[in-house]
Amino acid sequence: MQEYRLHRIATSKTGKAPARSTIHDEVVTLRQVLKTAIRHEWLAHLPDFSPPYKTSGKVVHRPWFSPEEYKQLYETTRAHAKASQIHHRWSAEQLHDYVLFLANTGLRPDEAKNLQHRDVTIVEDERSGERILEIEVRGKRGVGYCKSMPSAVRPL
């Protein structure tokens, strides 16, 4: 496996090493092929696929708005809602509320899209005494829990 990894780096057509995820995908595919060979008894055991040392995974921090950017965003969506023609106003108001909801819960758009009414409870925060949302978020890694900022209650 180590020789394969080195071969992939050495024979790269772009002159740079393939991405971590590319090598990972190729190793997974090879492992699946060899597992099939074991099931057919063409191989006796699965070779060691572990890398020679633990590499740290790519760390990607979720971006956020600065306070000035957030203020500009919600003021712009509010102004758009107010300036919209009467037959588009409801949609513009919904967009403004959606922006406020996402920004004050920290949910990803796909997590918010999958929310159901039963997943959200309006509660009083013990520390601040303000009303907040407690949300059961169903994501790709199962159910997680989220407490919102107080500003998320009204848009909900």
Whether residue 52 sits in one domain with residue 72: no
Whole-angstrom distance, CA of residue 149 vs CA of residue 89: 26
Whether residue 106 sits in one domain with residue 53: no
**What angle is formed at CA 52 by the lines to CA 50 and CA 55, rounded to 5 degrees?**
90
Whether residue 1 sits in one domain with residue 44: yes
What is the mean pLDDT of the segment spanning 99-114?
A: 92
Please identify, among 58, 91, 107, the residue that sits at the C-terminal boundary of a domain: 58
Whether residue 146 sits in one domain with residue 73: yes
Q: What domain count does the chain have?
A: 2
Whole-angstrom distance, CA of residue 105 vs CA of residue 108: 9
Whether residue 145 sits in one domain with residue 71: yes
Whether residue 141 sits in one domain with residue 114: yes
Whether residue 76 sits in one domain with residue 107: yes
- In the chain, which ranges are E strands? 120-124, 131-139, 142-147
**What angle is formed at CA 60 by the lines to CA 55 and CA 65, rounded to 5 degrees?**
165
* Domain encompassing residue 12: 1-58
Find tokens 């169903």 and name the residue: 138
Whether residue 74 sits in one domain with residue 31: no
- 49-91 residue pLDDT tens: 777 666 666 666 767 888 999 999 999 999 999 999 999 999 9
- 3-40 residue pLDDT tens: 887 888 788 778 788 887 888 898 889 999 999 999 99
Please identify, among 11, 31, 58, the residue that sits at the C-terminal boundary of a domain: 58
Please identify, among 33, 58, 83, the residue that sits at the C-terminal boundary of a domain: 58
Whether residue 88 sits in one domain with residue 52: no
Whether residue 81 sits in one domain with residue 6: no
